[in-house]
A and B are shown apart, each in its own frame.
Chain A
Amino acid sequence: MPKFLCLQRSLPSATPAEQRPSPAQMQEMYAKFGAWREQFKDQLVDMGGKLGQGRLVAAEPAPDGPYVEVKELVGGYMIVQAQDLEGAIEVARACPGLVRPGSGVEVVEIHTP
């Protein structure tokens, strides 16, 4: 089954910064995440993790661009498998907290030879 790389991206949002969740809300998020993970366990190849700082290495001097500070844009990654892009999007969209104001996910197919 094809694999897809899911990159969490911070998106500029008109809505004000979220309030910090309360412990009860965190418990709920944790529970939802567990349920999601259970539901799609066959498709979650690699839960990935958070991404830290990065730097574009190029022949030319690196331009001042958004990719210099990867951290600003990409929060984390994971790898899922699905029949097609739509299927992968479905998994990513269902992930609690991933698609919300201020955050989105980029889903890209990984071609392996």
Chain B
Amino acid sequence: MSTPALVEHLFRHEYGRLVATLSRRVGVEHLHAVEDAAQVALMRALEHWRIEGQPDAPSAWLFRVAHNHLIAELRKGAGRQRILARRGHGLDPGPEGGTAPEPPLAGELSDDLARMLFVCCDDVLPARSQLVLALKTLCGFSVAEIGRRLFITEANVYKRLTRARERLREQPPQLDGLSTAQLEARVPAVLRVLYQLFTEGYLSSHAELAIREELCAEALRLGLVLAEHPAGQTPPTAALVALMYLHAARLRGRADADGALVLLEEQDRTQWNAEQIATGMQWLERSAAGDRFSRYHAEAAIAAEHCLAPSFEQTRWDTIAELYATLERLQPSPLHRLNRAVAIAEAEGPHAGLALLNGFEPPTWLEGSHMWPAVLAELHRRCGHEAEFTRHRALALTLAPTPAVRQLLLRSLGASPEPRPDATGHQPDEGRKCTLCYR
């Protein structure tokens, strides 16, 4: 992720740059025309570059082609007079009709990208459109590619994009007039979308590893764009970037050569990316500022604990349990409760873990997920509660969303219940295998 090891996605990223720069120049209300122009420029590049070779400054070449095409299209458009009156100078291609203004300098470009990110996460857009719009405009994925990545139909992607463009046409966010402080107020919304994008890649149990890595890399790339922007340089941004590096570092270890999920306990820690862990720790250090401990701080700290533990056994589960408790306070979620129970079971024994879940009513969406019964089955197994174990295990297997997850559950919950003395019995718990710990 942002390392040379990954393929440089020139065309996709150029698309994102073109859309960001051009929509800033002509206004996001013209997003559709802007996206068309970016597409046309890339098609022309495909034709010309393969015959003439790639120009020395491909970005500038693309910018000029896209800009000229966009201006010609906007001039043809019905709203020509209105547009020209409002943005006369920016749109004038000059007496020759073909000279575009200079392409953006590096600093302007990252500013354009950050601003487009703010646009994609703006309150005027429906929440369900935001991530889709970011994937389309900033990451350069097509409608079909977005559908495959988010497990929604192309029609659904299309609908969300159309709504977003309509809103942007009706109420274009006016970012240019905003002060840094005003922009800063919009950072939490951007962080939410980036977190969602990263999670789609990191936790998805469906997609291939390459696709998941790609989504994580995109989230990280945009996170860095935000972190470099004056308004985006907040401690929670740094924490989110740290979180992404620290999780991404372990992505490769989570699946074996056949793509089967591997339990945390069984993961080959030498496969984790030491360089990314180091970078993640630097960002974590940078995030330790300000007066607010955000959910991203808590999650990054949990990821750091895992990355820094020399082995599964030497993991500081008590610290992780505390961090989950903090996370639950900051962002109440039954999933955090569930993870906290797993950590407590490791730190203090399965009875303590069960106690935390005792009397806790999971919401229907969690009841319908394999995770809830899988954790209960695991804890009951380790407590030696045969009937409870069997019941929850059967339910978990039924609810497993994919064959890979089912395989994992069969492996970890395959054994019959083994009573293990918990911490109060002063014996180490050897039956440690937790279905959530492959995270």
> A: which residues have CB within 8 A of B?
19-27, 29-30, 33-34, 37, 47-50
Contact = CB atoms under 8 A, between A and B. Distances in A.
For the complex of A and B, list the 9 residue pairs with the smallest distance between their C-beta atoms, beginning with the closest: A22-B142, A27-B11, A23-B11, A23-B140, A23-B12, A23-B15, A33-B50, A47-B51, A26-B11
Contacts of B140: 22-24
B46 A48 contact: no
Given A23-B140, A27-B12, 11 more contacts: A20-B43, A21-B43, A22-B140, A22-B142, A22-B145, A23-B9, A24-B11, A24-B12, A27-B11, A30-B45, A33-B50
Nearest to A27: B11
15 contacts: A22-B141, A22-B142, A22-B144, A23-B11, A23-B141, A24-B9, A24-B12, A26-B42, A26-B45, A27-B9, A27-B10, A30-B46, A30-B49, A33-B50, A47-B50
B50 A23 contact: no
A23 B15 CA distance: 7
Contacts, number: 51
A40 B9 CA distance: 26
Q: What size tier do the contact residues of chain B reach? A: 20 to 34
B143 to A, nearest CB: 8
B52 to A, nearest CB: 8
Interface string B135-163: 00000111011000000000000000000
A48 B144 contact: no
Interface of B: 9-12, 14-15, 39, 42-43, 45-47, 49-51, 140-142, 144-145
Contacts of A22: 140-142, 144-145
Contacts of A26: 11, 42-43, 45-46
Contacts of A34: 50
B51 A48 contact: yes
Contacts of B14: 23
